[in-house]
Structure 1
Amino acid sequence: MTPPSFARLLGAAGLLPQLAVAFVLLEHNNELRFSALAMGYAYAALILSFLGGLWWGLAAKTAAAPAWLWAVAVLPSLIALGSAAPWAVGEPWPGPSLIVLGVALIAALGVDWQLQRTAIAPPWWLKLRVPLSAGLGTLTILLAYL
């Protein structure tokens, strides 16, 4: 089953902010470097939190949602918040935080797989989620090294 066209289009457009940040960093624009990294970090943190909201919504629409789903749905926001701690206390940032967010975005596919396996998510869920989470996660990790 294929994801809805509009969801595919908007999902693909969701990779554009990280691509724009990568472009700025590849241009070696030192004047914009920190701002670009901060925007890339913020976008990855927002999208990770958004995933948790998606999972919460799927739990809410499920008659007997498993307890693990409610618990897992709050983790993305906590990971995103925790990844800001180094910045808040003056530690090296944003490289390590970008890696944490990128790995978390990719690891989120494990939850998405379970949601589809248990028929909590629609049958097309993974066809949408895999390229988006793998793409955004990989781009976010890449930003840490540019």
Structure 2
Amino acid sequence: MFWSRIPPAPLALGLAGLLPFLWGALTMWSDGAAALTLSTVGPRFVGPYIGLFYGAVILSFMSGVLWGFATKAEGTMAASGYALSVLPALWAFFTTGGGPTGAAVALIAGFVGLLGLDWLFWRHGLAPPWWMALRVLLTAGVVLCLLPVAF
């Protein structure tokens, strides 16, 4: 499988990072899971709210990852890398405040756009060789979990 090239630690941590998205989707479809979550940790961790909030956090986190990749570049490539690296965080900040449907659509667009940035950094040798295998897998998981909120 394509993910067999991904080192175990990044793969395990990346998949663990999908759990809040998966939990949000599950609590949208399961009244029992939603009720359990409401009674134990509160409404912020139920349905679309956990996926939307966590999605904004992860887009911001990924800005930091891309910034780290930009440190490997020099000259105008480094300057471009730093400038591009802040786009996911800015996207999350400016596009996720208009209600759950609009925020979900914006986050899906943000994660798809991030995948393009991932590819660009990877193509220029700034990301590890296995990076795109991990990012395609995780982006697919995130988008699939946010789609029920968006539509």
Name the TM-score, length of structure 2 as normaliser: 0.81
Map of 2:25 onto structure 1: 22
Contact 2:96 2:104 in 1 (8 A): no
Task: Give runs of aligned pairs for residues 4-15 of structure 1, distance below 5 A.
Answer: 4-15=7-18
Closer/same/farther in 2, CA of residues 79 and 73 from structure 1, 3 Å limit: same
Find 2:121's aligned residue among 115, 119, 132: 115
The percent identity for this pair of structures is 36
Alignment check: 8 A CA contact 2:52 2:103 kept: yes
Within 5 Å, which residues of 2 pair with 1:23-102? 23-28=26-31, 35=44, 36=46, 37-64=48-75, 66=77, 67-86=79-98, 93-102=99-108
Change (3 A) 1:12 1:53: same
TM-score normalized by the length of structure 1:
0.83
What is the CA distance between 1:63 and its match in structure 2? 3.6
> 1:138, CA displacement in angstroms?
2.7
Q: Is the 8 A contact 2:122 2:129 kept in 1?
A: yes
**Cα root mean square deviation, aligned:** 2.2
In the aligned structure 2, how far is the partner of 1:28 from the partner of 1:95?
Answer: 20
Q: 1:126 aligns with which of 122, 132, 142?
A: 132
User: Higher relative contact order at CA 8 Å, sep ≥6: structure 1 or structure 2?
Assistant: 1
Distance in 1 between residues matched to 2:76 and 2:29, nearest whole Å: 45
Asked if structure 1 preserves the Cα contact closer than 8 Å seen for 2:96 and 2:107, the reply is no
Deviation >6 Å, runs of 4+: none
Stretches of structure 2 lacking an aligned partner (at least 5 in a row): none
Give the paired residue count: 139
| Contact persistence 2:100–2:149 (CA under 8 A) | no
